[in-house]
């Protein structure tokens, strides 16, 4: 059963990654990142059960907290960028280049 | 009294002071005073120096101070001077006040072709910082400390060229920096390798002498050090940064660059390449001597073809550095002492040339030879001093450079006959490049734009005067300098395990017959 | 054969302070150069005083020497350590050097005095005297030094002073070029001298005359030959001998007293001095000696031929100087007898050539600085003192019986004849040509029709110029006989250069002597028909190939130009190009390549976060793949 | 058995939802899809003996984080839909390759590994007597330092969000007087005509009629008009269709990211203008003056 969970986790992670790479709306990109984090959490929880200790769950817990913080800051940044540029597209924020 | 640390501390403190005072004029005066204080201190130190002690291993470096710096790696703050280092420190501290006085208006942006005005205080502060580093690099007896100074010297010079130089200053500054860094990093590798392979747990130079025995290791480490020094010196074919840097730098910085900074290269060859890796040095001697002789002739020929005075002088220096390298690697007392003395004399003679050229450019706003002509008529003192400086550039007897060039050639002739003969033709070429330049700038009908150029003023005479006095004094009476240098050179050569060529008829016969 | 006396230290009397001879003019030069315009008013007087003082010291030293036993006349005066272990500064006062010192300071002082008048209108007269003093000082250092390094310092000092003097009117481009040329050609000679000194050092372990000459006979033949040839190269440069003769004619750009000083009394004789001084080497190396004589003969002929075709009076005299120095060089290659004649000829030549140069200067002074003899003619009547003294000098140089040149030049010719018939006869031919070109000069200048430019008002020069002429002409008359008759000079020089067992006796009617006289007479007569009796055209006719050849200085400059100057210019251009495009091109090319590559690589930084993310994902994939691969291994 | 069924059902649901998240054009749909994934995962946590995490997942993630997402979406413009045209060349292709390849590699790794039957958490939670006490014990003992740091992180994040989202007022708040002045100095002192005046139906999609029976252009609701246009619905009334068409053309010419402004109150326009000015000031340092200028122009036009 563990294998199944892990494969599901990998699949969700990959889908999230593809989303990050293909979507331009910063908010959607953010959601995809969250998806990837969730996929990781699934793997952690699975491993916790696999190894019979709770450390995996603790880590998943921490991941959730950090993800929450990240979302707060990330979304604040998105709002700020949107306010000045009237755009939430990650492609528009491309000044930092060569 | 920690003489050497004091010598370094005074200009550093002075530099801070210079950058803090309010007015530019005060800053200049303060800088001059500080540099004169250093000069006086050095003079006192030189009188307390005992050349006779240089023969013994323990007392070789006098005024020695050793403190742990990074104990984990055996890095020390170790300073001390022998005769060679002392004369080079003397060269530096004599040149700095002269350069300060000569650069009085260089940063003001008042010259005929001056770059835009920059911070005057910074320029003089940089000069003082540079002075401290020059003293440090010659005084360092810890290889790592030497490396630190060797690289750190680049920083003030980089800014002096890059901020206060001519039209192409940033190109020249970057070229200078990259070249030097390239050599310096090779040397860093060699320094670290030396530390690791020697397994002495220390970077102190006296303890590293004669430790590396394996010939192959010696060769690699030698190359690491040598390339750094060859770039610094600069030896052909690592020389192309020098004409750009010297031509773009303000005259004062050019003097310190060519007069002192580049000497670190030849000084390093004499001190580190020879003593740390004697077998490798002997192995590579044919190569180095070939490069040196090529440099002598090549530098002279290219100098003849220059149209820009400062570049011309820079190329003559390349030729002169060939002589110095030849003297260092001939490994005879005469050649070694001659090469050391050459470093000092070249500092004065090229310094005078650069400074007077700087005065000329300050007036006329061009460094092109073609823009001048007949200056002698309107500014006889300027022309006269220029001629004396130029004649010292072509090693006229009676001027200091002759003594050193003669000793170098004499000493190398003892061991290497044919290369020395080729090198001696440089004497003829020197006459061509100096006198041709003098003829085109100072002689002939006075050019229209030159008419009305003022002659040297009092300040400028105070700049040139001491240099010319030194050049002539050392030209007729070099003994004081040579007495300091000779024991140190002998000590160096004894560490190389090479004996002087016995100039007895029996030995010399074959050489003479080989002609 | 009597060998030279031993050199012994000596520090009493005037000899002990003989360094004053060098120091006084040097001090004068220093004061005048540093003093600047403030010394303008009395500068020339100071120069003369210093030179005269030096002369007085020389005379006193000479007198002191005469009071000594001949075996003790080589006196060394130690001054100070110069380069420890290599060379000291010290003086060697012996008959040879004191003869030179007397000549230099004596004739030099006369030229100083003469210059007061000659340069009176020049605003830079003070500077001129400073250079003259410098010149005298350097020349004295050259001849008085007791080692080769000291000699070399004086040697180059002379070169410097001649550079400054030839280029004294530096605002004239031709003068500036001539000065530079003189210095550079001299440097070629110096190169030989330097290598010679190096070889002496490596061979004998010393550069002091004392040790070197004592050891010289023991050294290997090849080494000695090499040393001899190298020293000869040096001598050729300074004495304007073939192949380094080309600077001398150009050097006439300097003021006339300079020409007199350089080409009569001092600089050009330095080469002869060097060869004679180094006699110990040459005597032990016959090959080198032979080369010396060949060079001497070739130069005396070349100089004479050049002299025949010059219309410029100073250049004509310069050609004659070349030729006379050739005689001396020939003599210097003939051993002790030759040395004595060579030095004697050098001294008498110093007088009569200075006499004629200064006379020429006097003529030019009267003729608005005109130098072209085709625009002279008939000057005898307007400047009698100049003309008579000049003619005395002329008679002396062509070897008119019983005048100075007669004794000294014939001595050289006869000695040469004993050594080598071919060289001897060539020298005789040279004497004949001398008779021609010197007569030509006299006839064109002082006799015949007046061909003056309009506005020329020739007049006799002031006394300050004529008195030296008279003194010099007296020397030109009597000095030769005084020195040669009874082998007086040879005996005097003996402690310095040695003495042969069999002394030459003077034969007034030897075959070579008579042949010389006959040829000189023929030459003079030919000159009379061409230039005395016949009309001299004011514009030089085209002339034969030979004339052109002589006018162009035997194509010496053309040869130098083709062999050295053009290839040199070409090489310089090539080297500069190579430096800019080759070495620097390589460096800059490397820099440009790195810059270009990074410029292209930079484009990868598009600014699109998603691109970066993509590469991160690729990286992650690679890491995972690598882990898998490693784990499966 | 129950777990297997649950897993398969939820696996299919979550993968489908994840795909939906990635591929749906509208951000709101994506957010909803993410919610579905999270809920599914919460159930899977619960199935895997992690009831506490399942609860946290639902409360924190689905509850708080998703709400935050939706809030921001509303702020940014809920109706804005992404253009799905890819602008970076090869991005999608390589993204697919990399993503699938990565997944394949992970799957390969997992598949190749021999995995023992899961140990289960029964023993781990036995001592403390349950999942939550066990976790608590761990968090407050072994992981207490990480936990404290996390709390610091949260506070920092909260402060950071405030700092980032807060905007300093650089000019005084517009008073009623300012607003009145702005309105009367504008081209339209009176309120815009409301919809449906004189019309047969009093509804938001009904334009007002002028006394002569023609449509008052100013009363047309632009948002509705745009939506209708997007849905391919054209107004039946030809004159209204013409006006709508013209309105839409004007709108397209104006910067696309302008927030549609339905309420035509002039006072509101003034305030908007105020805001835009502030924005301009914020951007002064950047080189975005053009965009800002365009925004300002748009607002000024609006103000007229």
The interface residues of chain C toward chain B in range 143-162, judged by CB-CB distance below 8 A, are 149, 152-153, 155-157, 160
Cα B306 to Cα B369, B447, C573, D111, D194: the distances in Å are: 9, 20, 9, 75, 87
Q: Do B381 and C36 touch (CB under 8 A)?
A: yes
Q: How far apart are CA B16 and CA D166, in angstroms?
A: 44
Query: C259 with C290, same domain?
Result: no
- pLDDT, tens only, A16-48: 999 999 888 889 999 999 999 999 999 999 999
pLDDT at B90: 93
Specify the CATH class of D1-79 in words.
mainly alpha
* pLDDT exceeds cutoff 80 at D296: no
Which of C272, C305, C322 delimits the end of a domain? Answer: C272
One domain, residues C537 and C588? no
Domain identity same for C329 and C180: no
| A98 → closest Cβ in C602, C609, C613 | C602
CA distance A30 to A20: 8
Those residues of chain B that have pLDDT short of 50 are: 504-515
Q: Do D102 and C620 touch (CB under 8 A)?
A: yes
Q: What angle do CA C133, C104, C198 make, to 5 degrees?
A: 90
Residues of chain C found within 8 Å of residue A17, distances taken between Cβ atoms? 617
Same domain for C534 and C623, yes or no, is no
Decide if C624 and D95 are in contact by the 8 Å CB cutoff.
no
Confidence label for D288 from pLDDT (cuts 50, 70 and 90): very low
Residues of chain D above pLDDT 70, percent: 77
Residues of A in contact with D277 (CB under 8 A): none
From B276's Cα to the closest Cα of chain C, the distance in A is 28
C337: domain range?
A: 285-551
Is residue C33 in some structural domain? yes
Same domain, C144 and C95: yes
Closest Cα in chain C, distance from residue D66 (Å): 23
Closest in A11, A58, A60 to D15, CB measured: A11
Residue among A91, A92, A95 with most chain C CBs within 10 A, to mutate: A91
Same domain, C175 and C296: no
* Number of domains within chain C: 3
Query: How far is residue C540's CA from residue C548's CA, in Å, rounded to a whole number?
Result: 11
Confidence of residue D250 (pLDDT cuts 50, 70, 90): confident
Of C605, C614, C617, the CB nearest to A97: C605
**Average pLDDT score, chain C:** 84
- Each residue of B391-422: b (16+ CB within 10 Å) or e? bbbbbbbbbbbbbbbbbbbbbbbbbbbebbbe
Contacts of C214 (CB under 8 A, 6+ apart): none
Burial class (CB in 10 A: 0-12, 13-18, 19+), D198: middle
In this prediction the pTM is: 0.79
Question: Does C386 lie in the same domain as C522?
Answer: yes
Q: Same domain for C293 and C265?
A: no
**Mean pLDDT, chain D, as a whole number?**
77
Q: Name which of B330, B404, B352 is nearest B87 in CA terms.
A: B404
The predicted-structure confidence for B90-111, as pLDDT tens digits, reads as follows 999 999 999 999 988 877 777 6
Instruction: Please report which confidence band the pLDDT of residue C264 belongs to, taking 50, 70 and 90 as the band edges.
Output: low
Chain C residues within an 8 Å CB radius of A81: none
In this predicted structure, the answer to whether residue A76 has a pLDDT above a threshold of 80 is yes
Q: Do residues C534 and C615 share a domain?
A: no
Tell me: pLDDT of C511 over 90: no
User: How far from chain centre, in Å, is Cα A50?
Assistant: 24
User: Nearest CB to A1: which of D3, D165, D255?
Assistant: D3
Backbone angles phi and psi of C195, in degrees to 5: -65, -35
pLDDT at residue C351 in the model: 83
Contact in structure between C285 and C223 (CB atoms under 8 Å): no
C436-472, pLDDT tens digit by residue? 888 888 888 887 777 777 777 777 777 777 888 888 8
Instruction: Mutation target for D interface from A5, A31, A44, A70: give the one with most D CBs within 10 A.
Output: A31
Contact C42, C107 (CB under 8 A): no
Q: Do chains B and D touch (3 or more CB pairs under 8 A)?
A: no
CB atoms within 10 A of CB C594: 10
Residues of D in contact with A86 (CB under 8 A): 255, 257-259, 291, 295
Task: Decide: C57 and C106 in contact? Cβ < 8 Å.
Answer: no
What φ, ψ does residue B252 adopt, rounded to 5°? -60, -45
Helices assigned H by DSSP within B199-261: 205-208, 215-232, 241-248, 251-256
Of D62, B512, B427, which is closest to residue C222 (Cα–Cα)? B512
The Cα–Cα gap between D64 and A69 comes to 11
pLDDT at C125 over 80: yes
What pLDDT does B500 receive? 67
Residues 6+ positions from B14 with CB-CB distance below 8 Å: B30, B31, B34, B35, B37, B128
- What average pLDDT does this structure show over C396-401? 82
The four Cα atoms C276, C281, C287, C290 give a dihedral, to 10 degrees, of 10
Helices and strands (H and E) in chain B: how many? 23, 2
Q: Are residues C342 and C480 in the same domain?
A: yes
Model ipTM value: 0.72
Instruction: Identify the pLDDT of residue B155.
Output: 92
Q: Is C82 on the interface with B (CB under 8 A)?
A: yes
Within chain D, all domains assigned CATH 1.20.120.1200 are found at 1-79
pLDDT band at D218 (very low <50, low <70, confident <90, very high): confident
The pLDDT assigned to C373 comes to 77
* pLDDT score for C305: 84
Which SS3 state, helix, strand or coil, does residue B147 take?
helix
Domains and CATH numbers, chain A: 2-85 (1.10.287.3510)
Domain assignments of chain B as residue spans, ordered by start: 3-513
Q: In 3-state terms, what secondary structure has residue B499?
A: coil
CA distance A66 to A45: 17
- Which of C86, C89, C228 best probes binding to B when mutated, by most B CB atoms within 10 angstroms? C86
Question: Count of CB contacts below 8 A, A vs D?
Answer: 254
CB contact under 8 A, B483 and C184: no
Instruction: Please indicate whether, in this complex, the C-beta atoms of A90 and C617 are within 8 angstroms of each other.
Output: no
**Do the Cβ atoms of C77 and C97 come closer than 8 Å?**
no
Percentage of residues of chain C with pLDDT beyond 70: 98
- Digit-coded pLDDT (tens) for C473-507: 888 888 877 877 777 777 787 787 777 777 777 66
- Cα of C597 to nearest chain A Cα, Å: 13
D267 has pLDDT over 80: no
Within this chain, do residues C161 and C307 fall inside the same structural domain, yes or no?
Answer: no
Partner A contacted by C613 (CB < 8 A) = yes
Same domain for C266 and C304? Answer: no
pLDDT at D257: 47
Residue labelled with tokens 């306010």? A83
Tokens of C627: 């882990």
């Amino acid at each position: 059963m563990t294998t199944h969970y892990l494969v599901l986790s990998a699949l969700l992670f990959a889908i999230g990654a593809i989303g990050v790479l293909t979507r331009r709306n910063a908010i959607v990109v953010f959601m995809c990142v969250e998806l990837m984090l969730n996929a990781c959490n699934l793997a952690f929880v699975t491993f916790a059960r696999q190894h019979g200790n709770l450390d995996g769950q603790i880590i998943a817990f921490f991941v959730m907290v950090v993800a929450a913080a990240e979302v707060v800051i990330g979304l604040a940044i998105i709002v700020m960028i949107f306010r000045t540029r009237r755009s939430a597209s990650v492609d528009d924020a491309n000044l930092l280049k060569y | 009294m920690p003489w050497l640390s004091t010598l370094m501390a005074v200009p550093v403190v002075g530099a801070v002071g210079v950058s803090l005072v309010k007015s530019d004029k005060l800053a200049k005066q303060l800088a001059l005073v500080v540099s004169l204080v250093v000069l006086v201190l050095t003079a006192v130190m030189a009188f307390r120096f005992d050349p006779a002690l240089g023969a013994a291993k323990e007392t070789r470096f006098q005024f020695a101070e050793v403190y742990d710096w990074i104990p984990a790696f055996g890095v020390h703050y170790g300073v001390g001077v022998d005769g060679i280092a002392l004369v080079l420190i003397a060269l530096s501290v004599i040149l700095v006040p002269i350069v300060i006085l000569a650069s009085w208006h260089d940063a003001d942006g008042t010259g005929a072709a001056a770059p835009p005005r920059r911070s005057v205080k910074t320029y003089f502060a940089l000069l003082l910082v540079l002075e401290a580093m020059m003293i440090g690099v010659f005084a360092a007896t810890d290889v790592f400390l030497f490396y630190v100074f060797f690289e750190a010297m680049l920083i003030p010079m980089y800014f002096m060229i890059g901020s206060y130089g001519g039209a192409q200053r940033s190109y020249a500054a970057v070229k200078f920096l990259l070249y030097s860094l390239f050599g310096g990093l090779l040397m860093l590798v060699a320094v670290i390798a030396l530390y690791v392979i020697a397994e002495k747990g220390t970077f102190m130079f006296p303890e590293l002498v004669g430790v590396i025995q394996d010939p192959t290791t010696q060769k690699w480490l030698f190359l690491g050090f040598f390339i750094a020094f060859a770039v610094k010196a600069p030896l052909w074919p690592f020389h192309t940064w020098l004409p750009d840097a010297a031509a773009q730098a303000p005259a004062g910085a050019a003097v310190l660059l060519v007069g002192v900074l580049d000497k670190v290269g030849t000084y390093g060859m004499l001190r580190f390449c020879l003593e740390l890796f004697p077998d490798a040095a002997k192995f590579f001697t044919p190569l180095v001597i070939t490069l040196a002789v090529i440099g002598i002739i090549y530098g002279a020929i290219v100098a003849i073809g220059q149209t820009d005075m400062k570049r011309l002088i820079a190329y003559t220096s390349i030729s002169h550095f060939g002589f110095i390298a030849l003297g260092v690697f001939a490994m005879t007392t005469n050649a070694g002492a001659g090469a050391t003395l050459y470093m000092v004399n070249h500092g004065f003679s090229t310094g005078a040339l650069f400074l007077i050229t700087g005065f000329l450019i300050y007036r006329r706003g061009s460094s092109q030879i073609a823009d001048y002509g007949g200056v002698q008529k309107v500014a006889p003192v300027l022309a006269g001093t220029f001629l004396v400086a130029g004649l010292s550039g072509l090693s006229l007897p009676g001027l200091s450079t002759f003594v050193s060039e003669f000793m170098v050639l004499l000493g190398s002739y003892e061991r290497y006959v044919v290369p020395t003969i080729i090198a001696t033709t440089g004497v003829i070429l020197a006459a061509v490049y100096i006198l041709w330049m003098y003829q085109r700038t100072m002689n002939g009908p006075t050019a229209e734009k030159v008419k009305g150029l003022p002659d040297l003023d009092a300040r400028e005479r105070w700049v040139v005067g001491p240099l010319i006095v030194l050049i002539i004094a050392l030209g007729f009476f070099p003994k004081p300098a040579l007495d300091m240098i000779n024991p140190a050179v002998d000590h160096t050569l004894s560490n190389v395990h090479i004996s002087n060529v016995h100039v007895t008829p029996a030995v010399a016969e074959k050489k003479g017959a080989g002609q | 054969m009597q060998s030279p006396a031993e050199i012994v230290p000596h520090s009493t009397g005037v000899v002990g302070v003989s360094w004053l001879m060098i120091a006084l003019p040097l001090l004068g030069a220093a004061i005048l150069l540093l003093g600047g315009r403030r010394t303008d008013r009395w500068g020339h007087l100071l120069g003369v005083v210093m030179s005269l003082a030096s002369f007085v010291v020389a005379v006193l030293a000479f007198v002191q020497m005469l009071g000594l036993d001949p075996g003790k006349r080589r006196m060394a005066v130690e001054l100070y350590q110069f380069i420890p272990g290599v060379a000291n500064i010290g003086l060697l006062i012996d008959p040879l050097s004191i003869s030179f010192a007397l000549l230099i300071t004596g004739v030099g002082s006369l030229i100083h005095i003469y210059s007061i008048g000659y340069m009176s209108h020049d605003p830079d007269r003070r500077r001129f005297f400073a250079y003259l003093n410098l010149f005298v000082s350097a020349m004295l250092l050259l001849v008085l030094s007791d080692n080769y390094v000291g000699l070399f310092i004086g040697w180059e000092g002379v070169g410097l002073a001649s550079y400054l003097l030839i280029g004294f009117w530096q605002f004239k481009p031709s003068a500036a070029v001539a000065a530079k040329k003189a210095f550079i050609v001299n440097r070629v000679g110096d190169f030989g001298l330097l290598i010679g000194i190096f070889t002496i050092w490596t061979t004998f372990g010393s550069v002091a005359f004392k040790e070197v000459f004592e050891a010289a006979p023991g050294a290997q033949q090849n080494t000695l030959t090499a040393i001899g040839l190298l020293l000869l190269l040096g001598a050729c440069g300074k004495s304007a001998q073939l192949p380094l003769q080309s600077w001398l004619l150009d050097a006439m750009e300097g003021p006339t007293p300079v020409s007199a000083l350089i080409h009569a009394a001092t600089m050009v004789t330095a080469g002869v001095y060097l060869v004679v001084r180094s006699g110990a080497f040459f005597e032990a190396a016959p090959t080198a000696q032979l080369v010396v004589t060949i060079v001497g003969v070739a130069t005396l002929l070349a100089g004479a031929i050049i002299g025949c075709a010059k219309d410029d009076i100073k250049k004509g005299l310069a050609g004659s100087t070349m030729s006379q120095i050739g005689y001396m060089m020939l003599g210097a290659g003939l051993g002790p007898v030759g040395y004595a004649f060579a030095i004697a000829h050098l001294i008498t030549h110093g007088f009569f050539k200075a006499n004629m140069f200064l006379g020429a200067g006097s003529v030019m002074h009267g003729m608005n600085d005109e130098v072209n003899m085709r625009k002279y003619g008939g000057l005898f009547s307007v400047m009698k003192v100049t003309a008579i003294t000049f003619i005395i000098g002329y008679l002396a140089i062509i070897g008119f019986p019983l005048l100075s040149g007669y004794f000294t030049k014939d001595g050289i010719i006869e000695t040469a004849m004993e050594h080598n018939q071919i060289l001897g006869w060539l020298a005789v031919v040279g004497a004949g040509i001398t008779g021609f070109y010197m007569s030509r000069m006299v006839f064109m200048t002082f006799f015949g029709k007046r061909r003056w430019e309009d506005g020329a008002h020739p007049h006799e020069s002031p006394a300050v110029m004529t008195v030296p002429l008279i003194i010099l002409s007296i020397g030109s008359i009597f000095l030769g006989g005084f020195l040669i008759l009874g082998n007086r000079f040879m005996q005097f020089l003996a402690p310095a250069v040695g003495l042969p067992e069999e002394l030459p006796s003077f034969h007034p009617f030897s075959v070579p002597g008579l042949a010389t006289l006959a040829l000189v007479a023929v030459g003079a007569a030919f000159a009379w028909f061409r230039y005395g009796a016949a009309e001299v055209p004011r514009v030089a006719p085209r002339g034969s190939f030979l004339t052109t050849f002589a006018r162009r200085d035997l194509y010496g400059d053309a040869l130098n130009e083709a062999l050295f100057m053009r290839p040199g210019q070409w090489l310089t251009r090539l080297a500069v190009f190579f430096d800019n495009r080759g070495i620097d091109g390589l460096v800059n090319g490397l820099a440009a390549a790195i810059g270009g590559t990074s410029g292209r690589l930079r484009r990868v930084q598009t600014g699109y976060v998603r691109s970066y993310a993509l590469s991160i994902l690729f990286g992650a994939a690679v890491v995972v793949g690598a882990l898998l691969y490693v784990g499966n291994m | 058995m129950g777990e297997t069924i649950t897993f398969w059902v939820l696996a299919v649901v979550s993968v489908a939802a994840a795909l939906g998240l990635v591929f749906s054009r509208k951000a709101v749909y994506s957010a909803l899809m993410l919610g579905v994934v999270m809920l599914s995962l919460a159930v899977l946590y619960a199935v895997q003996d992690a009831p506490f995490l399942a609860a946290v997942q639902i409360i924190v993630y689905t509850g708080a984080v998703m709400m935050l997402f939706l809030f921001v979406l509303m702020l940014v413009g809920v109706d804005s839909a992404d253009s799905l045209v890819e602008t970076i060349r090869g991005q999608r292709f390589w993204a697919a390759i990399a993503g699938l390849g990565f997944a394949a590699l992970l799957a390969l790794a997992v598949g190749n590994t021999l995995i023992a039957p899961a140990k289960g958490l029964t023993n781990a939670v036995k001592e403390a007597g349950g999942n939550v006490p066990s976790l608590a014990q761990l968090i407050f003992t072994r992981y207490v330092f990480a936990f404290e740091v996390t709390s610091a992180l949260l506070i920092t994040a909260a402060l950071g969000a405030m700092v980032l989202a807060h905007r300093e007022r650089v000019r005084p708040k517009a008073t009623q007087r300012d607003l009145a002045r702005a309105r009367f100095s504008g081209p339209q002192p009176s309120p815009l005509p409301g919809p449906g005046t004189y019309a047969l139906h009093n509804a938001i999609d009904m334009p007002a009629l002028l006394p002569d029976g023609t449509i008052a252009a100013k009363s047309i609701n632009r948002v509705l008009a745009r939506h209708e246009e997007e849905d391919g619905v054209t107004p039946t009334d030809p004159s209204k269709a013409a006006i709508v068409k013209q309105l839409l053309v004007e709108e397209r010419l104006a910067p696309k990211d302008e927030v549609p402004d339905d309420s035509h109150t002039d006072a509101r326009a003034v305030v908007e203008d105020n805001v835009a000015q502030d924005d301009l000031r914020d951007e002064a340092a950047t080189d975005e003056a053009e965009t800002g200028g365009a925004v300002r122009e748009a607002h000024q036009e609006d103000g007229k």
